[in-house]
Amino acid sequence: MQQRIKALLKLLFVFTLSFSTIFISGLSISSINTIVIAEAAVKAPSLKDKSITLYTGYDTYKVEIKNLSKNATVSYKSDRTKVATVTKNGTIKPIAKGSANITVTVKQNGKTYNLKLEVKVKKPSVTFSKSTNYLNVSDTFQYTAKVNGMNDEVKWSTSDSSIASINSKGKVTALAQGKVYVYAEAGDKTARCTLEIGQNRIGTFSTNVTLYDETTIWITAKDMNVSTKDEILSYELDKKNIIKCKWGETWTGNQTSLKIEALKPGTDTITISSDKTHDKLIINVTVEKNRKTKKEYSSKEIYQKCGPATVEIEVSKDDGEAQGSGFFIDNGVVVTNYHVIDGAKRIVIKTNNGREYECKTILGYNALLDLAVLKINCKNESLVISETKSVVGEDIYALGSPLGLSGTMTKGMISTASRIIEYVDFIQIDAPISNGNSGGPLVNVYGEVIGVNTMGATYGQNLNFAVNINELKKVTTNNPITVAEYYEEYSKQMFDDFLYEDDETSNSMSTCQTIDPKVYGIGEAEKDEKVDYYKINITQSTTLHGHLLTYNNSDYMNVQIALYDQNGTLIGTCFPINEDCIQKLECSIEAGTYYLGISLVDYYTGEDIIYAFGYRCE
């Protein structure tokens, strides 16, 4: 009996524990279910859109509500029915331009919700999404337009198809100088954009400029007669607090400088325009906050960094083959000396990895500065152009292909940081350079280009010269030409006649012979005569290119050619081009009467020298 009671108590104890567990568990489950149900119940209705834009006469909009229960009731109301109305089923119709609020009242699960929808009503329109206000003759541009509130296709036209034509897809072609309107039409709506077309007269080296403090760029105005002052260039800044600009005080030929000074980091646009034509030049300027920290490299590192960006240039000319050097400053953009490509019929560029590219395009050149910029289609390593001033004693490296030996680098220092020769700024160096180095880069210890290796003096030791890289800013690249076009124009300027010196008249400016362009003058420089003069007449502002060579190549350093104005004032002297054994003369001059003078150098004591000379203007 006692055992049965113990068993019953044991069973009762187990049952009690089980019941307690179930009870506690049940309580927990019940509580969780209650929370879940409560969360589901508080999901309030909401609108899919809180703000919309409609266009009168074209659009309607059906209000969409999220989390709406089946037994809910909905009503709609507009606070400005003159702007937008709403129907009982939630369809909004635009009436007039303006703003309105639609109140959506939702009643469900015993609660009332007032939802707000902002409606902006606009008139249907056509707007330009891509446009330009300026093109040069022969340029093309793809306009695009957005149709707002209509389903019509855009129809394109211009106000004068003889100045600019446009096709059905919106591509415009600039045909002649002038001003037109470009129209984008859809339905009964039309957008208009003003387009000015110039003749590409105003140019510079690059239309993208980056600076930290200040820099100077050069602006070229083709066919501009500075002496008459009948045309004025002006600039306009898009913003007023990023940069400030100042024109140079004088013009050199058809070029003048523009100093740009940074005020604070940011971007700005300079628009340069003429008061006489429709020509414009647009320059994008970026001012960066801090100048990047530069690393000084060892000789080995300089070669590894700069060698891949150095090229060899082979040129075919009427009188044979020529070879020089060059370097990349951007993808496919090569800088070299002009005399390397002077008279080129064909140009081939050999890159550091051994690949060859035929150059079809000359972006720009300046014979006076002896600089040229070429373009090929390739991706490459590029050199950085230095923005810091070079100083005497600075270590430098000259890279190139002397005598065709590609991949050559020599080391030296700057002997003179700025030596002006025939109006061109040269850096004098003692690093060895030879025939074939012309056009190659002169770099500093940071691997930045500071000059273009150009020439050396054969009558002295370690007297070599590189055009200061800052002169590259004076080369305009806005009128690229093909090599074929260049050769055709060059051929037209070839000399096709001869003028022999008249000994009885050549010693005086008042009696000397007149010589025309494309005519070779032939004479003899004699020890007992001071100067042989030849008169030239210039009809407009130009750059005069003269050259002098001798019967014996070894004599070319003993004769000199100079330019005088009509008053007998010396305005330009020659400099040697060792590779061609000639003396070269280049000057930017205005219209007027001038004299070329040819004489023996003061230190020469040898025999009389037979010479030939000529000049051309461009």
- pLDDT(19) > 80: no
| pLDDT of res. 368 | 82
Tell me what the mean pLDDT of segment 454-460 comes to: 81
pLDDT for 100 beyond 70: yes
- List, as one string, the DSSP characters of 330-366: ETTEEEE-HHHHTTEEEEEEE-TTS-EEEE-EEEEEE
Torsional sign, CA 407, 412, 413, 415: negative
pLDDT at residue number 578: 56
> Would you state the pLDDT for residue 493?
67
**Torsion angles phi and psi, residue 572, rounded to 5:** -170, 140
What pTM was computed for the model? 0.65
What CA–CA distance (Å, rounded) separates 425 from 171? 44
pLDDT confidence of residue 547:
85
Beta-bridge partner residues of 310: 327
- Per-residue pLDDT for 270 more than 90? yes
CA angle 12, 16, 17 (to 5 degrees): 120
Nearest-angstrom CA–CA distance, 612 and 524: 9
Is the Cβ–Cβ distance between 427 and 455 less than 8 Å? no
pLDDT (0 to 100) of residue 212: 87
Query: Which among 490, 480, 489, 204 is positioned nearest to 362, based on CA atoms?
Result: 480
pLDDT of 588 reads: 86
Distances (CA, A) of 79 to 103, 129, 272, 517, 618: 8, 34, 52, 84, 74
- CATH tag, 299-485: 2.40.10.120
Q: Both tokens of residue 522?
A: 């032939």
Domains of the chain, by residue range, sit at 1-42, 46-122, 125-198, 202-287, 299-485, 494-617
| pLDDT digits 0-9 by tens, 554-579 | 677 888 899 999 999 999 888 776 55
Quote the mean pLDDT of the chain: 87
Dump pLDDT digits (tens) for 288-333: 887 778 899 999 999 999 999 999 999 999 888 999 999 999 999 9
Nearest Cα to Cα of residue 373 among 407, 401, 341: 341
Domains 46-122 and 494-617 share a fold: no
**Four-CA torsion 262, 268, 269, 270, nearest 10 degrees:** -20
Give the Å distances, CA to CA, from 609 to 40, 395, 524, 599: 109, 41, 6, 10
> 202-287, what's its fold?
Immunoglobulin-like (2.60.40)
Give the amino acid at 75: S
Predicted pLDDT of residue 49: 94
> Residue 117 corresponds to which tokens in the numbers above?
């929808």
Question: What is the per-residue pLDDT across 489-504, written as a single tens digit (0 to 9) for each?
Answer: 888 766 567 888 888 8
Question: Closest Cα to residue 591, out of 176, 264, 226?
Answer: 226
Instruction: Of 281, 283, 282, 246, give the one whose Cα is nearest residue 263.
Output: 246
Distance spanning both ends of the chain, measured CA to CA: 136
Q: What pLDDT is attached to residue 360? A: 95
| DSSP helix/strand/coil, 15 | helix
Which residue do the tokens 């140019």 mark? 203
Residue range 494-617, CATH number: 2.60.120.380
Q: Which CATH class is domain 125-198?
A: mainly beta
What does 242-297 look like in DSSP terms, one character per residue? SEEEEE-SS-BTTEEEEEEEE-SSEEEEEEEEESSSS-EEEEEEEE-SSPPPPPP-
Q: What is the pLDDT of residue 102?
A: 95
Structure confidence by residue, pLDDT tens digits, 102-114: 999 999 988 999 9
CA distance 534 to 302: 50
pLDDT of residue 95: 93
Residue pair 340/372 in contact (Cβ under 8 Å)? The answer is yes
Q: Mean pLDDT over residues 151-169, rounded? A: 94
CATH 3.40.50.1170 is the classification of domain 46-122: no
Which whole number is the average pLDDT over 237-245?
Answer: 93
| Beta bridge pairs of residue 517 | none
Q: What is the mean pLDDT of residues 443-462?
A: 89
- Each residue's pLDDT tens digit, 21-38: 433 334 343 333 333 334
Average pLDDT over residues 377-399: 93
Phi, psi torsion values for 90, nearest 5 degrees: 90, 20
Section 121-141 average pLDDT: 93
Q: What SS3 string covers 92-149? A: EEECCCEEEEEEEEEEECCEEEEEEEEEEEECCEEEEEECCCEEECCCEEECEEEEEC
What is the Cα–Cα distance from 429 to 120, expressed in whole angstroms? 71
| Cβ contact 124:55 at 8 Å | yes
